[in-house]
Amino acid sequence: MKGNPAILAALQQQLDNGGLWPQLTDYMLQESGLPGPRANLTLAGSFAKLFARPDVTETAWELISAWSQLTESEAKTGDPQEFLAFCAVWASGAHYAHAGRTRRGQAEERLQAAMNDGRWRLREAAAMGLQSLGEYDFALLRQLLDGWCVEATLLEQRAFVAALAHPPLLKAEANVLYCLELAAGIMEGIRSGGSGSADPDHFRVLSKGLEYSLSVFAASLPQPGFAMLRKYATSGDPRLIKIVKSNLGKTRLTKNYPDEVAGLLQLLTSC
């Protein structure tokens, strides 16, 4: 359905007419791809793009407000109802740059709640919403993340690096340098022991995010990227070393920068 003008027009009409919400909801549930291994990301992305503009009606905003509040007991992982919440969170991020102060505040609450949700798809929706924002206005995304970073939870930190490890955001050198700086701050937080008393499962989720995202940043800007990996390869912290080793195993690095990877692996062996 991606780019299908007729379907997108129908979705828009149903969004803006509360009387057609049952029809829209049924369509989204039927096409959700759930239960199943993969949700319908094409539909979700097209739905989110309908909110990437300033003239989103109050009716449409009210609908995704309701969908975003579907709890885990109402919309369990893998249930088609979860897809509604997923779409609402992603759409909130897509609308953020075009929204006024009130809606921005509401979108921020939804995104942060989703980052900390027990459902992994909702956490992914938050990252995708941030990516939609960043593709439109990276400076605004940076401003938002800078405001959140100081008191960010481990799951929020994971959302930050997952959102930033998105090639369309990494075309400008300044953007990549920002991503490396933010990631380094998170790594330093781990090294300083700030994560020591945290929920082990939340730390596992953060670690998994770091275990691939650093390689995306390094592949985009190799010199400072490998310098960061080298720094934490020699940190003596087994948690950070595990993160570095995982990144060094990614094809984006082993294929394009074999000498740099081999050098770091040798360094890890000698430490």
Question: d(Cα 174, Cα 101) in Å, to the nearest integer?
Answer: 27
Same domain, 70 and 159: no
Q: Which domain holds residue 237?
A: 137-271
The domain tally of the chain equals 2
Q: What is the pLDDT along the chain (271 residues), one digit of tens a residue?
A: 455 788 899 999 999 999 999 999 999 999 999 999 999 999 999 999 999 999 999 999 999 999 999 999 999 999 999 999 999 999 999 999 999 999 999 999 999 999 999 999 999 999 999 999 999 999 999 999 999 999 999 999 999 999 999 999 999 999 999 999 999 999 999 998 865 557 999 999 999 999 999 999 999 999 999 999 999 999 999 999 999 999 999 999 999 999 999 999 999 987 6
pTM given for the model: 0.95
Same domain, 159 and 130: no
In sign, the C-alpha dihedral spanning 124, 210, 165, 184 is positive
| Residues 154/205, Cβ–Cβ less than 8 Å | yes
The amino acid that residue 5 corresponds to is P
User: In angstroms, what CA-CA distances link 167 with 132, 134, 173, 193?
Assistant: 12, 11, 12, 31
Same domain, 116 and 155: no
Same domain, 158 and 270: yes
Domain boundary among 113, 136, 159: 136
Same domain, 170 and 224: yes
Same domain, 68 and 196: no
Same domain, 196 and 104: no
Domain boundary among 118, 136, 154: 136
